[in-house]
Structure 1
Amino acid sequence: MSSKLVALFLLILLYLALRCHCSTPQSRVKAGYYYTDDGNLISDLNSKLFTHLICGFTFVNPSTHHLFINFSTEQQFSTFADNVKTKNPSVTTLLSIWVGRELLLNFFSMINQSSYRNSFVQSSIETARLYGFQGLDLSGVEPTGNSSDMANIGTLLDEWRVAVNSEAKNSSKPELLLVMSGNRLPALGSVIYPIDSMRRNLDWVHVLAYNYYLPAGRDRVTFFHAALYGPSNMANTDDGINEWKRRGFLPSKLVLGLPYHGYAWTLLSPQKNPMGAASTGPAVTKDGAVSYKWFKWFIRNNAQEAVCGYNATSVVNYCTFGLTWINYDDVEAIRAKVSYVKQKGLLGYNVFQVGHDDNWVLSRAAAEELDDENQNQKGRLLVIVLVSSSTTIVLLLGSVWVMCYLRKRKVKSPGIVPKARKGQEAKVNGIATSGNSNTNVPDLEVYSYAVMEMATNKFSFENKLGEGGYGPVYKGVLASKQEIAVKKLSKASTQGFEEFKNEVTLTAKLQHVNLVRVLGFCIERDEQMLIYEYMPNKSLDFYLFDSVRRFLLDWKKRVHIIEGITQGLLYLQEYSRLTIIHRDLKASNILLDNEMKPKISDFGMAKIFSKDEYEANTDRIVGTYGYVSPEYVKKGLYSTKSDVYSFGVLILQIISGKKNACFYGLNEDLNLLEYAYDLWKSGKGMEFMDPSLDDTVSSCKLIRCLQIGLLCVQENATDRPSILEVSSMLKSESAALIIPKIPAFSIKRNGDEGTKSQFQLEDCSINDTTLSQMVAR
């Protein structure tokens, strides 16, 4: 009897497993437009990579209000469904109706009449069935015109859905899908899409997440045409999706548009960073539009001359070739955007257009990114069903999961080390016991991966704060409501476990108000994550180099930031038990707390000196171009003067708001340091200052900071002041300063070094914002 019960139990488990394997959660949409005029053969389409394919375009006859297809493309429409189903029988085909741009006014006029709407609706259903399509797509409608036009769109959708339902019932065929393209924003001015009707009647809306900025437009400045993220004053996809959600549209009915094209701009002059640069208009084609396929061909034939990159913040690829700048989506951007689809809970993506792909690399990347989730969902569903069939198993696994989930372990030096996987315990011990710079080591939390995943909403794009050389940084909130920042090692990072351990041990033991505090780390699942106190105001570069946010940094705030960085460096070089050289001091590594107080971060590259050591040598040059001292670049030598050099660059950036990767001057042939020196030497130092300061009463202090910055960036390390001397110079407004020599990395090396500046300090008033006396805290 017992054996029969066991057999029955096993049969039930097998049945449930098969049911689970055969049933899948709601499938995501992997759609794409095929344009009949682009010259690609339908038989060449890899339909296996898509769940839905949309064939465009048909048009509306303005007299009869019926659909019509151009004679030249009629054959393609008639064979489309059969052809794509040869390779993928399960693919769903839709017929697209174009009513946009110059046709939109006529369309608005047509749908104003009930009889015209009826003619259009019936014709669309008949045409779709005639050519074997399984759905209809309305393309080109924007929230323009007036509110009555949008109300008529809503009425049309209501009537269209009723007609589709009725036709399916009478013909015993599956209902036709009804979808529609949508503008990035659901409202333009006071005109808004009929959201309620769209939500009620449409299977989905695919948001056209591209063509935001065009080289043939009115603006003669380069911008990304399909940025996923960006500041609020720049068009970006994330703002658009959030607005659709805010207006009440369901994310599960939104499909994200993916562009398989980019735009080429002609630059006015060569630029190292062409984003936001002056442009004379389109390049390559009349409107600048280039397909991904063409672009990849172009790169293959001009690989040596082209300079390409990926902007992880905006999620866009770009390439510069002479005076031509192209922005587009490559595999990295496509994968990131599909990941965004999953994070936001959107229904899927829709490609425009499939024929622009190059050997299907983009379509494969997108499908693989989305399929990863579907496979995970199937696996989770199988586990849930099997586990639910046995109360014992549920209790057992549930208890283990709860223990793992709630476990938050502590380790103290020399080490209370929790149980870990093989190899992990040694790593934890190594972190806990390394370094002896301070015997009074604070507690470090060793967080589980599950806790970090929960805190960061599964490392979602919404929680992403930015990305550096180490990897992405996410905002998190612990169960205790404490806000944290989680720095996660990227698989592509050149930094490894030694840098990770270095940062943990240093930042844990160096306690100062102007150094970012590390709270703990996570090394589960072969991950390397550092957990910090959260800095709500991001980093210094977020403000300095932004045309709008820089106004938030008035002269008083910039003084306090310079003061705070100085205090942090004083502690590292003078007042801690050992001398710490940061080696990667830059604007993005200066974080700002809720009071805009600066904190030095990112100690992965830092080195420890004893007090009787002054200089060291390395074969591995690390740091950031533009901030690294010349002796370090040329000879691998680093010392405390290396950080002084970086601090000098920072001072010049803080007072000017200028980047060090650009060129300046009348001929745009001077780097930042040369430009600062030339203006200071000629008595025009105020021309170097950030115009947003607009504070003439601080001119003396600004010029003094300019001169101190120039002293810090001199070629020879011995000529540079120590950080203690820099501190003294900043807090003493009347003491004479040494005349700086020509800065490092200058092309000019002539006999005018040491020439006094034409700017006379004695002519300045010193009744302005002062730097307070600095002491180590």
Structure 2
Amino acid sequence: MALPLLSPLCLLACRPRGIPGLALLPLVVLPLWAGARCPCQDPALCQPIRHHPDFEVFVFDVGYRTWKFYDWSQITTVVIFGKYDPELMCYAHSHGARVVLKGDIPLKDIIDPTFRASWIAQKVKLAKAQYMDGMNIDIEQEANCFSPEYYALTALVKEATDSFHREIKGSQVTFDVTWSPKCKDRCYNYTGIADACDFLFVMSYDEQSPALSECIAAANAPYKETLTGYDDYIKIGINPEKLVMGIPWYGYDYTCLKLLEDRVCTIPKVPSWRASCGIASGQQVPYKIIMKHVNSSISGSHWDKNQQASYYNYKDSSGHLHQVWYDNPQSISLKAAYIQKHGLRGIGMWHANCLDYSGDAVPKQQTKEMWKVLNPKLR
């Protein structure tokens, strides 16, 4: 039985004298059991995973202990975005899957090489103490081309990868990138970052398609835009084997200003950091909730041939009309065909907790189909 996890405490480090302007880093106080002894019944499960699979299935877990019901016959990496669970680590290792940390830090802080080194050292220490296998760097902040942040981010990824590889044999460092390298607000050195780390997880969702710029509800990950994003990454010189396709296991619920011909849902302009309308006008909805509501909607599920995605309309208790766009096994399989055709490293999703693991017959089958579509041999 795994020992309980204590909440980490953070103490603020004192600024060293004689070094003006040095950024401060929190000193992480690890759980009492961390590093003391292996929390697994089999001590061998605390050893890092060294095998590198031919096909990557990259899973994000945000908590709620639904991980016991995942399809572990496919999973190769689990990124912990929720509270660390030593039982999950033991279980994943028993199936040969890596368990990695989330890494996020303000870009302005990493310009300082000393701060970068301290942050990386703490992440390595934490990974070792929790018997983990690396880190997934998830930095989703604006940066200008050739700015100090632009160069510092590439340096951070390289230094983190080198440090993890040196300190934890078989470890893995990955980086999350937006759906297209042409996104104007996030100018990163994508080729340099890809070269520096093990691979990139491409977040092919929350895309701003031409339809969204017209302030009408549209797909979260339209087919053409999604695949064009991968074409563009490859065109700038990134090896397809360094790219993992990220798919959404959630959709967007839009409140319509008007619903024209039961198809076109106009949405309000909402100022945001990405666009004046689009995903900022909607609410994220997990696939399990979508599947509960679609059959009782006023329209039933419809298929959009242009965007290769599903949607439905419903009316809320106040009488407002809504349109919900989402991905399902049909839309995912169409995009996933690109993986084998172009030699991508694998597939993953945000996030695994979006499915229904209750065990009831209908949702159980729906959940099974969503996992099944990840496997290129079963599509």
Aligned residue in 1 for 2:92:
84
Aligned residue in 2 for 1:154:
154
Amino acid at match of 1:129: K
Please report the RMSD computed on the Cα atoms of aligned residues, expressed in angstroms: 2.9
CA-to-aligned-CA distance 1:225-258 (integer Å, 9 cap, x gap) = 21021xxxxxx21221121112111111111111
Query: Does 2:369 align with 1:342?
Result: no
**Partner Cα separation in structure 2 for residue 254 and residue 124 of structure 1:** 24
- The Cα shift of 1:279 comes to 2.2
TM-score under structure 2 length normalisation: 0.72
Amino acid at match of 1:279: I
Aligned residue in 1 for 2:353:
355
Query: Do the aligned residues in 2 keep the contact of 1:142 with 1:182 (CA within 8 Å)?
Result: no
SS at match of 1:48: coil
Identity of matched residues, %: 14
**Partner Cα separation in structure 1 for residue 223 and residue 132 of structure 2:** 32
Aligned residue in 2 for 1:278:
266
Amino acid at match of 1:29: E
Query: Do the aligned residues in 2 keep the contact of 1:225 with 1:262 (CA within 8 Å)?
Result: yes
CA-to-aligned-CA distance 1:3-46 (integer Å, 9 cap, x gap) = xxxxxxxxxxxxxxxxxxxxx9961111111013xx34333333
- The Cα shift of 1:295 comes to 0.7
Aligned residue in 2 for 1:29:
56
Mapping for residues 68-467 of structure 1, pairs under 5 Å? 73=83, 76-85=84-93, 89-99=95-105, 107-142=106-141, 144-147=143-146, 148-168=148-168, 174-189=169-184, 192-213=187-208, 220-229=215-224, 236-272=225-261, 274-275=263-264, 277-280=265-268, 287-300=282-295, 302=296, 305-322=298-315, 323-358=321-356, 359=364, 360-368=367-375, 370-372=376-378
CA-to-aligned-CA distance 1:421-460 (integer Å, 9 cap, x gap) = xxxxxxxxxxxxxxxxxxxxxxxxxxxxxxxxxxxxxxxx
**Partner Cα separation in structure 2 for residue 98 and residue 317 of structure 1:** 33
SS at match of 2:301: strand
Amino acid at match of 1:289: Q
TM-score under structure 1 length normalisation: 0.36
| CA 328–206 in structure 1, closer or farther in 2 if over 3 Å, else same | same
| CA 263–109 in structure 1, closer or farther in 2 if over 3 Å, else same | same
**Partner Cα separation in structure 1 for residue 98 and residue 53 of structure 2:** 15
Amino acid at match of 1:94: V
SS at match of 1:33: strand
Query: Do the aligned residues in 1 keep the contact of 2:127 with 2:134 (CA within 8 Å)?
Result: yes
SS at match of 1:186: coil
SS at match of 1:270: strand
Structure 1: unaligned runs, 5 residues or longer:
1-23, 58-72, 100-106, 169-173, 230-235, 374-777
Mapping for residues 711-726 of structure 1, pairs under 5 Å? none
**Partner Cα separation in structure 1 for residue 114 and residue 127 of structure 2:** 20
| CA 55–321 in structure 1, closer or farther in 2 if over 3 Å, else same | same
- The Cα shift of 1:143 comes to 5.7
Amino acid at match of 1:347: R
| CA 273–328 in structure 1, closer or farther in 2 if over 3 Å, else same | same
Amino acid at match of 1:351: M
| CA 242–54 in structure 1, closer or farther in 2 if over 3 Å, else same | same
**Partner Cα separation in structure 2 for residue 212 and residue 125 of structure 1:** 33
**Partner Cα separation in structure 1 for residue 314 and residue 98 of structure 2:** 41
**Partner Cα separation in structure 2 for residue 118 and residue 325 of structure 1:** 47
| CA 115–25 in structure 1, closer or farther in 2 if over 3 Å, else same | closer
Query: Does 2:42 align with 1:42?
Result: no
**Partner Cα separation in structure 1 for residue 305 and residue 93 of structure 2:** 37
Query: Do the aligned residues in 1 keep the contact of 2:191 with 2:236 (CA within 8 Å)?
Result: no
Query: Do the aligned residues in 1 keep the contact of 2:294 with 2:301 (CA within 8 Å)?
Result: no
**Partner Cα separation in structure 2 for residue 48 and residue 206 of structure 1:** 21
**Partner Cα separation in structure 2 for residue 42 and residue 191 of structure 1:** 32
SS at match of 1:288: strand
Query: Do the aligned residues in 1 keep the contact of 2:310 with 2:325 (CA within 8 Å)?
Result: yes
Rg larger for: 1
Query: Do the aligned residues in 1 keep the contact of 2:154 with 2:196 (CA within 8 Å)?
Result: no
| CA 337–362 in structure 1, closer or farther in 2 if over 3 Å, else same | farther
SS at match of 1:324: strand
> How many corresponding residue pairs?
303
SS at match of 2:233: helix
Aligned structure 1 segments of 4 or more residues deviating by more than 4 angstroms: none
SS at match of 1:367: coil
Relative to total residues, which structure has the larger strand share, 1 or 2?
2
Relative to total residues, which structure has the larger helix share, 1 or 2?
1
| CA 267–34 in structure 1, closer or farther in 2 if over 3 Å, else same | same
Query: Do the aligned residues in 2 keep the contact of 1:260 with 1:351 (CA within 8 Å)?
Result: yes
**Partner Cα separation in structure 2 for residue 349 and residue 192 of structure 1:** 24
Query: Do the aligned residues in 2 keep the contact of 1:178 with 1:201 (CA within 8 Å)?
Result: no
| CA 35–178 in structure 1, closer or farther in 2 if over 3 Å, else same | same
| CA 91–206 in structure 1, closer or farther in 2 if over 3 Å, else same | same
| CA 338–372 in structure 1, closer or farther in 2 if over 3 Å, else same | same
| CA 129–342 in structure 1, closer or farther in 2 if over 3 Å, else same | same
